[in-house]
Amino acid sequence: MAIRFADRMLREDFQGEFMKLIMEAVASDDIISFAGGLPNPLSFPVEDIRRATDKVLAEHGVQALQYSAVEGYKPLREFIAGRYRAQGIEASADQILITTGSQQALDIIAAVMLNEGDAIILEKPSYLAALQLFHFYGPKVLSVDLTEEGADCEQLAQLIEEHHPKFFYAIPNFQNPTGLTYSEKVRHKLAGLINASNTLFVEDNPYGDLRFSGSPKTPCKKLMGDQCVLLGTFSKTVSPGMRLGWICCSDPQLYQKLLDYKQVVDLHSNFFCQMVLAQYFADYRVEDHIARITQLYSHQANFMMDCMKKYFPAGVEYTRPEGGMFLWVTLPEGMRAVELSRRAVKRGVAVAAGDPFYEEERGVRTFRMNYTNCADEDIRKGIRMLGEVISQMQAESAASKTEA
Ligand SMILES: Cc1ncc(COP(=O)(O)O)c(C=O)c1O
């Protein structure tokens, strides 16, 4: 039988190819991988989760194993809302919808908001799995440049005026892939623009808790109110394997639509894990746990940057993140990150070439580096090898120019 697939599965998926390469590199024991985005396993509170699990099963076993509410476990939603209130965001448990990771939150938002051909805006570059996902819904994807201070607000204003996009999707804290964070100035400008428009702001904040230097910035949701939906996840602070994230949405009409869609798709997210997490947060101070993670990531980020300074040739630039899991490298003019990544993998080190993080640009000279999942010695070895490959590419390029 010739299986007749849906058109959306037959579209050329450029991002998918790169995703496969990244996952292969992450899975291989012989390759030092800076290509993925895995939290450091040292950050998983295995014993505490085991104790919380025992308690849930002993005290609420039947509830934990039964079907339950679409929106999620109330104590967990209260915990999330309470943490938002501590940051000055007006939020209540009724505005939180628990999802299967923030990846599902993105899917629910896209499904509820998008008709084919609708305009949306993404940062340039953006999170590649969001690009992949939004493409399933056939929108017109527009991109706005990302500067050291955040989205270029002039460009954004023009795009909003010309295209009336349904939403602008952005990651203002320790962005994936660049590690950049929006300044206060840009946040306020952005809020002015969004609040004066009919465009929703989708603020994806998986890394916000992982700040290891600089000062916390005002959440966009605080400045935008109902016109912003804020996404969060436990993947980077507790466990990605538990697959739990959430949407904070204060517009009641939109919240209801998100809930309706979630119900149809999967009834609710893993309730057992929601209860385990709520128990874990009741019994342990999450701030202490997060402090241990940020201490670890601060060391790893600084160690990687020190190695880059030592081993990368002049002309290679990189962002200096104040938190999160990534930094973003720009090669000198004329070099391609895809070529670097091909050669580097042969030497035993993987990076994520920048191309799939863009809607349109190809042959770019940028690439993403993850620092959270390698031991110091591997970081040193991997960066030294990368430095050698870059130098070799530079030498070849200089030689070919001389010949020409
Ligand atoms: C920007 C961004 N959004 C969403 C996700 C999805 O995270 P999860 O589904 O594990 O919550 C990730 C994961 O890396 C991410 O980087």
- Ligand 1 atom with least separation from CA of 244: 11
Residue 100, ligand 1, Cβ within 6 A: no
Q: Determine the distance separating the centroid of ligand 1 and the alpha carbon of 103, expressed in angstroms.
A: 6
What pLDDT was estimated at residue 401? 75
Choose the final residue of a domain: 264, 283, 302.
283
Residue 37, ligand 1, Cβ within 6 A: yes
Q: What is the DSSP string of 49-64?
A: HHHHHHHHHHHHHHHH
Residue ranges of E strands in 242-287 = 245-248
Range of the domain at 132: 46-283
Closest by CA to 340, choosing from 304, 301, 394, 380, is 394
Closest by CA to 367, choosing from 323, 310, 308, is 308
Sign of CA dihedral 180, 186, 188, 190: negative
Q: Domain with 358 in it: what CATH number?
A: 3.90.1150.10
Q: Determine the distance separating the centroid of ligand 1 and the alpha carbon of 326, expressed in angstroms.
A: 13
**Rounded Cα distance, 224 and 231, in Å:** 14
| 313 and 365 together in one domain | yes
Residue 404 falls inside a structural domain:
no
Closest by CA to 130, choosing from 208, 77, 139, 254, is 139
| 75 and 123 together in one domain | yes
What pLDDT was estimated at residue 277? 98
* CA separation, residue 77 to residues 101, 277, 355 (Å): 14, 11, 37
Q: Determine the distance separating the centroid of ligand 1 and the alpha carbon of 215, expressed in angstroms.
A: 23
What pLDDT was estimated at residue 142? 98
Choose the final residue of a domain: 223, 252, 283.
283
Q: What is the DSSP string of 154-180?
A: HHHHHHHHHH--SEEEE--SS-TTT--
The residue whose two tokens read 């509170």 is 45
Shortest-distance Cα residue to atom 16 of ligand 1: 176
Tell how strand 326-330 and strand 32-33 pair up.
unpaired
User: Ligand 1: which of 40, 127, 242 to mutate, judged by most atoms within 8 Å of the beta carbon?
Assistant: 127
Residue 126, ligand 1, Cβ within 6 A: no
Q: What is the mean predicted confidence (pLDDT) over 95-118?
A: 98
| 66 and 28 together in one domain | no
Residue 300 falls inside a structural domain:
yes
**Of 114 and 27, the one with more pLDDT:** 114
| 154 and 172 together in one domain | yes
- State pLDDT tens for residues 184-218: 999 999 999 999 999 999 999 999 999 999 999 99
Residue ranges of E strands in 234-353 = 245-248, 317-318, 326-330, 349-350, 352-353
Closest by CA to 195, choosing from 155, 222, 234, is 222
**Rounded Cα distance, 56 and 34, in Å:** 37
User: Ligand 1: which of 40, 132, 204, 368 to mutate, judged by most atoms within 8 Å of the beta carbon?
Assistant: 204
| 294 and 273 together in one domain | no
Residue 240, ligand 1, Cβ within 6 A: yes
| 55 and 26 together in one domain | no
Residue 235, ligand 1, Cβ within 6 A: yes
Residue 158 falls inside a structural domain:
yes
Shortest-distance Cα residue to atom 6 of ligand 1: 103
What pLDDT was estimated at residue 309? 97
pLDDT, mean over the chain: 95
Instruction: Give the range among 58-62, 118-122, 395-399 with minimum mean pLDDT.
Output: 395-399
| 40 and 50 together in one domain | no
Q: In 49-76, which positions are buried (b, 16+ CB within 10 angstroms) versus exposed (e)?
A: beebbebbeeeeeeebeeebebbbbbbb
Q: Determine the distance separating the centroid of ligand 1 and the alpha carbon of 22, expressed in angstroms.
A: 15
Residue 179, ligand 1, Cβ within 6 A: no
Q: Which amino acid is at 185?
A: K
Q: Determine the distance separating the centroid of ligand 1 and the alpha carbon of 49, expressed in angstroms.
A: 21
Asked if 210 contacts 287 with a C-beta cutoff of 8 angstroms, the reply is: no
- Ligand 1 atom with least separation from CA of 245: 11
Label residue 169 by pLDDT band (50, 70, 90).
Answer: very high
| 211 and 231 together in one domain | yes
| 265 and 349 together in one domain | no
Q: Determine the distance separating the centroid of ligand 1 and the alpha carbon of 247, expressed in angstroms.
A: 13
- The residues with which 122 forms a beta bridge, in sequence order, are 143, 169
| 106 and 222 together in one domain | yes
* Other CB atoms within 10 A of residue 124 CB: 18
User: Ligand 1: which of 19, 229, 235 to mutate, judged by most atoms within 8 Å of the beta carbon?
Assistant: 235
Choose the final residue of a domain: 235, 251, 283.
283
* Other CB atoms within 10 A of residue 249 CB: 27
- Ligand 1 atom with least separation from CA of 103: 9
Tell how strand 119-124 and strand 167-170 pair up.
parallel
User: Ligand 1: which of 97, 146, 176, 244 to mutate, judged by most atoms within 8 Å of the beta carbon?
Assistant: 176
Q: Which amino acid is at 264?
A: V
| 342 and 376 together in one domain | yes
The count of domains in the chain is 2
Bond prior to 177 in cis (omega within 30° of 0): yes
What pLDDT was estimated at residue 14? 65
- State pLDDT tens for residues 304-350: 999 999 999 999 999 999 999 999 999 999 999 999 999 999 999 99
- Ligand 1 atom with least separation from CA of 127: 1
Residue 2 falls inside a structural domain:
no
